[in-house]
């Protein structure tokens, strides 16, 4: 009998983590210069918005290996609203309540938001099959027999 851990898509979790790292570097590369010009929360918001589109395409193609659609693109910000809310709460808590440095705090807040963001993004970008069995997932390549064609 297989337990609940067997249902966890570990390959997707690993790819999601890689994409999260790339997205975090992209965000941080935007945040640091803006942090010199703007208050930390405004710089955070601008950096977050700038990295949104890249995150959509990386997660669509690489993490979940599915086709991007306009519907997913329009729904994807909902995943980021969740991510933004969790990260924002973490950022304010870390900086204002716990006194953490505002340069490092966004990285810690991003780590804290990772599990919630994975669950929400998977639901949006890889929805369950429809009752008619149709899906927008790419078709698997045909199985290869050991014989030449």
pLDDT per residue over 79-101, tens digit each? 878 988 999 999 999 999 999 99
Q: Is residue 1 part of a domain?
A: no
Prediction pTM value: 0.64
Q: Is residue 141 part of a domain?
A: no
Q: Is residue 50 part of a domain?
A: yes
Residue 145 Rama label (left phi>0; alpha psi -120 to 50; beta): beta
Q: Is residue 68 part of a domain?
A: yes
Is residue 57 very low, low, confident or very high in pLDDT (cuts 50, 70, 90)?
very high
Is 46 exposed, middle or buried (CB count within 10 Å of its CB: 0-12, 13-18, 19+)? middle
Q: Is residue 52 part of a domain?
A: yes
Q: Is residue 145 part of a domain?
A: no
Q: Is residue 142 part of a domain?
A: no
Whether 2 shows a pLDDT value over 70: the answer reads no
Distances (CA, A) of 28 to 3, 8, 44, 68, 140: 38, 29, 9, 25, 36
Structural domain span for residue 92: 9-125
Mean pLDDT score, 128-144: 53
* Total domains in the fold of the chain: 1
CA-to-CA distance for 119 and 52, rounded, in angstroms?
17
Q: Is residue 139 part of a domain?
A: no
């Amino acid at each position: 009998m297989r337990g609940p851990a067997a249902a966890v898509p570990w390959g997707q979790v690993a790819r999601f983590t890689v994409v999260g790292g790339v997205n975090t570097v992209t965000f941080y590369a935007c945040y640091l210069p803006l942090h010199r010009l703007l208050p930390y929360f405004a710089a955070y918001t601008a950096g977050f918005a700038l990295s949104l589109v890249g995150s959509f395409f990386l997660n669509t193609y690489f993490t979940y290996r599915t086709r991007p659609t306009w519907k997913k693109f329009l729904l994807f910000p909902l995943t980021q609203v969740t991510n933004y809310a969790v990260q924002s709460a973490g950022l304010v808590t870390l900086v204002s309540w716990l006194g953490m440095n505002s340069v490092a705090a966004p990285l810690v807040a991003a780590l804290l938001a990772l599990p919630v963001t994975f669950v929400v993004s998977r639901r949006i970008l890889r929805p369950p099959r429809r009752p008619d069995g149709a899906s927008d997932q790419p078709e698997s390549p045909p199985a290869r027999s050991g014989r030449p064609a």
